[in-house]
Chain A
Amino acid sequence: MGLLSDPNRRKALTNLLTRLNAPICMVCYLAAIVWFMGLAFEPFTLRTYMSENAMGSTMVEERFSSGERALSLAKEFDAHKRKAGGMPVEWLVKAMQARGLEVFTQSFSRKLPFPDENKERYMVRGTNVYGILRAPRAPRTEALVITAPCSPGNSDNQAVGLLLALAQYFRNQIFWAKDIIFLVNEHDLIGMQAWLEGYHHTNITGMEYSPLQGRAGSIQAALSLELSSDVITSLDLILEGLNGQLPNLDLANLFYAFCQKLGVLCTIQGKLQRNDWDTAEGYTHAAQTMMLMVLKQACGRSWGDHGLFLRYHIEAASIRGINGFRHYKMDVATIGRLLEGMVRKLNNLLERLHQSYFFYLLPSLSRFVSIGYYMPAFGLLAVILLLRVSFPGLDHFTFFNPSGPGVLTVLTPVVISHLTGVALYLLPVHLQEMAVEHFPVSETEAVVLTAVAIYTAGLALPHNTQRLLSGEGTEQGWKVLKLTALLYLAVLLGCTALINFSLGFVLAVTLVPITASMTPHMPKALSALAMVLLSPAFTILYCVFIYQELIEAPVSVGEGWMLFLSVISQGILDHALYGSLVYPLLALFIYPCWLMFWNILFWS
């Protein structure tokens, strides 16, 4: 490291970096984008492989054949569900008991902070029913979970039917080493949250539930089954869980291996796999699949019932049956065999799934991008912030210069920005009653519109901040503020990317260019427009449009706006109901940080 110790060479390096700072930053930014887009290119990715020995080499034979029984059970369940107008608890308890399971129920209730207009619920009251198949000669220390939701309407009846048929078949087998819990949960994620909190005797979200009577030790893995229609043509694997957590990649490998073995059409993000990676269409397809995963992961919500298991260190995935590819109608017995195979292999596990990756992106089911490959894309973006921190500021002043700007000059905008963030976090939910009284809106609209209003009001802050400051903002003042803000942003994005890469990357892509180049000397109107267009809220809006485009359901601007509003309400609900961290992160940290840059722009 003569480079650092030799003053001359150090100076040369510094000069080079200072002189070429802007071009280097631009190159880094472009390189990051190119690197990221390159991740979907097949030759740059790795083929998935089973890492866990206990699941890889052992053979299992699938013999489940009671597809007809599953269908008739589904019909029976449907009839009882209609009669009960919800979960047919008694029938389900009897049906499970008749299959030799130990059956327990759990009732729960939850009042949402404000009505959920997507799912049309406010006061939620329900019952979970679960049956435990006790493994012979096992000491109740380990368990596997299979869940199916009891959802209103026609969907998911087959999932419950298949669950019961599987329970009956599994009960007659002798080879189980882990207890198997068959769970039918009501009100999808809310029921699942109640059950998991009851099982682990925690209460993180203020749910009211009755304590569980039966347990089966530590849960090793969980599979959630959703069959949205009566005709199933393909199975979709859903991995994205709460806060962007993903299950171990081996679980995806297991699913893929059995789909291959049984000749089942399988998709991820609803996209089939293509073999023509060398054509433009093939690449676009893979890129779209990966982008979908990134967007889903970034939004931090649980995309299936499995997503809540991940917090408890339980590897879980949802398998969703889809009716989309007309010519490949699938037998229920085949899905049963697929589940049987997966559960049997999970039953063989000697340790928790830990051999394979926990951080990955999937451009297709057979290819994956590991953390080592995708992190450089983020690293290149983070470097820009560090480059901006190091040079333009330090050249002109020293931070510890006593004659420099007072602490107050910097602290005031920082504190005010964060107070705005706190307001954005707290007020929408707490002011909803007042808003409903004074404006002709529903509670949900009140919450969302309050959030939007506070967000917009934050933009007026710089002028107020200036008034609070004693005297004019100095040249050094904004530099210190920018230095602080850049470091703050770098730390924030870095931490976010380590936990949830997608969220960190998406935020970095939009926030880095404008924040890195921000000075008060730029043309005000133009840069203000650019800043607003690249603010966190607009990032969400773009994500909504891109997501709709990628799932091949493009929306008009008006619809997009409505979706944007519902995404905000969902984000707030996810935080309140399941403890998703994206909303507090954006409101309490990212938005105030962005406001600090906004402040710099209007530094007079």
Chain B
Amino acid sequence: MWCIIESKSRDQFQEELVIRPLHSGDIYASFQFRTLWDTDFLQERQKVSHYRLFPKSLGQVLSKFSVRELHISFTQGFWRTMQWGQPFIPSPPGAELWVWFHDTVSDVDGNWKELTNVLSGIFCASLNFIDLTNTVQPSASFKPLGLGNATDHRFLRYATLPREIVCTENLTPWKKLLPCGSKAGLSVLLKSEKLFHSSFHSQAVHIRPVCQDEQCTSKAWELRQTLNVVFDLYTSGQGKKEWSLFKMFSRTLTEACPLATSSKVYVDITDNPELFELSPATPLLSQAVVLGDRRTYSVFDLTRAEMFGQLRSLNLLLRDMLRPLLHAERYVAGFGLQTGEIHTVIYNNHPYRAFPVLLMDSVPWYLQLYIHTLTVTSKSRDNKPSYIHYQPAKDRHRPHLLEMLIQLPPHSMTEVTVQFERALLKWTEYTPDPNHGFYVGSSVVSALVPSMVAMNTNFTQDQPLFSSFVPVKEESSYFVRVYTEPLLVNLPTPDFSMPYNVICLTCTVVAVGYGSFYNLLTRTFQVDEPSLPLAKRLANLIRRIRGVPLLA
């Protein structure tokens, strides 16, 4: 009995929605749902059968595959850093999955394969296309975000599927993981017809072990479900910079999720708050330091009954935002179907601070990288990376993995180029639409970016969820991960209607050309011998006299 009460009191659910008007005139809405599961995950083989708020489907997966940390994201669209600034939790286009396994796991690859298949079923996604040819083990870029400092990257697996299309069928299972489903609380806003009528859509699940309290006396599983969406006011608002919850989601909020300990809506009013007309007005203001910037938010606490009824219309004006300090993009240079060059351009927009970034590139084997052509230049000078981890690809088995630690000079553009040659695939290895091209996943730039304001380092429960995902260890900098766009590369593609022609042609060539040549080469030509040996001639003479047929 005591046990149940204890666990009841310590499992927690929080929900949060942040709305931020973006510089470009778009609206960024970020949902975070956090479920804490108070169970001692470090005890191996402990059968857990009691689930209260935590979804059972995920809990079973965690224990079965000895998962220590799991991060999965599904994204449709590309986060436009230059227009929108930094997202709260970044993600690359398509699907991304990275998992830390417990260091007791002996067959990591086997577990990984099974895990991807199970997750593929849970999220109705094509995660089963993750195999060894697109899985890498980054040595530095992906550190565990939760408790424990595992550093042995043999237990880490990372894979992306840049081509994955995200739609309603991925949203529904994601919503089912929430304690209130889509019946109450913030999740009533998650209507797919509106969420997918946007410029950007990203949903993610992050599971990691965390401390239950400040002193870290007990530990818990944390499940964070995040959903980020950017609405294009330009196409939907007929030019008016005006929005409301109803316009965005075609729903209004009616109540908090009864299971939630906190349920809040934050509206970013940092930019010219006096020019905002927010209805209903809220007395609650909150300041948070997020991504190196101090922002002010109006807070609507849904657990208070008096909030309901009106939360509807909100007018706002725009202000130029700071350029994002870190920004990266990537493209393929060159023409023709033989060689090419991958250019990754990383911008440091900080006026006076240099900082190092970790660049991670995972390139499929069919682009054969010429690593000796790797150049890193900043301000037209050679920039020598202080750390390079390169794992060459094996044809049909393993992708290239390139990780580099590069120091970015202040206010600079750093260009990383590497040449590649396009491989000829076997004819069964082509996708059904080979002329579309082949995808290369986003490269990942991870960095501790110098902060303009002091970051909040003490980890308390009061912090809003959106600012507490990545633990901040020092006041002067904050962690940012930037994903570049995926690449679409054309490989030399045969004309697949050709086999018929080829068969006809080769048959003709073989039959006519080769046949006659073979004939000419192998036939032995003999010159007719006009004179017979003497004995035969004599014999023939006698035969002629006798009237008997002659010898040949």
Contact = CB atoms under 8 A, between A and B. Distances in A.
Contacts of A351: 433-436
Nearest to A353: B435
Contact of A202 (B82, B334, B433, B523): B334
Contacts of A312: 335
A137 B76 contact: yes
Contact of B235 (A7, A141, A173, A311): A173
Nearest to A351: B435
B93 interface: yes
Contacts of A137: 76-77, 196, 198-201
Interface string B531-546: 0000000000000000
Given A140-B485, A141-B485, A352 B439 contact: no
Interface in A166-182: 171-174
Contact of A217 (B232, B234, B333, B485): B485
B486 A139 contact: yes
B488 A218 contact: yes
B235 A4 contact: no
Interface string B233-262: 011000000000000000000000000000
Nearest to B330: A215
A142 B520 contact: no
A172 B233 CA distance: 10
Contact of A313 (B77, B93, B335, B436): B335
Contact of A352 (B77, B234, B332, B490): B490
B435 A136 contact: no
A111 interface: no
Nearest to A136: B199
A7 B520 CA distance: 11
Contact of B93 (A139, A215, A311): A139
A47 interface: no
B516 A4 contact: yes
Nearest to B238: A172
Contacts of B341: 201
A218 B487 CA distance: 8
A354 B343 CA distance: 27
A139 B234 contact: no
B471 interface: no
B435 A172 contact: no
Which of the four size classes fits the interface of chain B? 35 or more
A315 to B, nearest CB: 11
A172 B331 CA distance: 27
A291 B490 CA distance: 35
A217 B515 CA distance: 50
Residue in A4, A137, A140, A352 with the greatest tally of chain B CB atoms within 10 Å? A137
Contacts, number: 100
Contact of A5 (B434, B487, B520): B520
A200 B334 contact: yes
A102 B435 CA distance: 28
Interface in A290-323: 311-313
A134 B199 contact: yes
Contacts of B490: 218, 313, 352
A141 B200 CA distance: 15
A1 B512 contact: yes
Interface in B321-371: 329, 331-337, 341, 343
Contacts of B439: 141
A349 to B, nearest CB: 9
Interface string A5-22: 101000000000000000
B437 A218 contact: yes
A222 to B, nearest CB: 14
B488 A215 contact: no
A368 to B, nearest CB: 18
Given A141-B485, A352-B436, A5 B516 contact: yes
Interface in B199-233: 199-201, 232
Interface string B65-79: 000000000001110
Interface string B90-114: 0001100000000000000000000
Contacts of B488: 141-142, 217-218
A138 B486 CA distance: 11
A140 B519 CA distance: 59
B83 interface: yes
Interface string B417-437: 000000000000000011111
Interface string B518-536: 0110010100000000000
Interface residues of A, number: 31
A134 B200 CA distance: 11
Contacts of B176: none
Contacts of B235: 136, 171-174
B498 to A, nearest CB: 12
A141 B76 contact: no
Contacts of A313: 335-337, 490
A215 B331 contact: yes
A139 B95 CA distance: 12
B162 interface: yes
Contacts of B52: none
A350 B199 contact: no
A100 interface: yes
B80 interface: yes
B333 A352 contact: no
B197 interface: yes
A101 to B, nearest CB: 10
A174 B233 CA distance: 12
Interface string B481-503: 00001111110010100000000
Given A137-B201, A138-B78, A311-B335, A1 B515 contact: yes
A138 B77 contact: yes
Residue in A100, A134, A139, A174 with the greatest tally of chain B CB atoms within 10 Å? A139
A218 B523 CA distance: 57
A202 B201 contact: no
Contacts of B196: 137
B435 A352 contact: yes
Contact of A140 (B78, B199, B332): B78
B201 to A, nearest CB: 6
A171 B333 contact: no
Nearest to A7: B525
Contacts of A173: 235
A7 B234 CA distance: 83
A201 B333 CA distance: 5
Contacts of B435: 351-352, 354
Contacts of B343: 201
Interface in A427-480: none
Contacts of A140: 78, 93, 485-486
Contacts of A217: 331, 485, 487-488
Nearest to B511: A1
Contacts of B198: 136-137
A200 B490 CA distance: 14
A139 B332 CA distance: 15
A142 B329 CA distance: 15
A215 B200 contact: no
Contacts of A352: 435-437, 490
A449 B520 CA distance: 57
A172 B196 CA distance: 16
Contacts of B334: 200-202
27 contacts: A1-B519, A5-B519, A7-B525, A100-B234, A134-B78, A136-B200, A136-B232, A139-B94, A139-B162, A139-B485, A140-B78, A140-B93, A141-B486, A141-B488, A200-B334, A201-B331, A202-B333, A215-B329, A217-B485, A218-B437, A218-B490, A311-B335, A313-B335, A313-B490, A351-B434, A352-B490, A354-B493
Given A136-B235, A171-B234, 14 more contacts: A1-B516, A5-B516, A102-B82, A137-B77, A137-B201, A140-B486, A141-B485, A172-B234, A172-B235, A201-B343, A202-B334, A350-B436, A351-B436, A352-B436
Interface of B: 76-78, 80, 82-83, 93-94, 162, 196-201, 232, 234-235, 329, 331-337, 341, 343, 433-437, 439, 485-490, 493, 495, 512, 515-516, 519-520, 523, 525
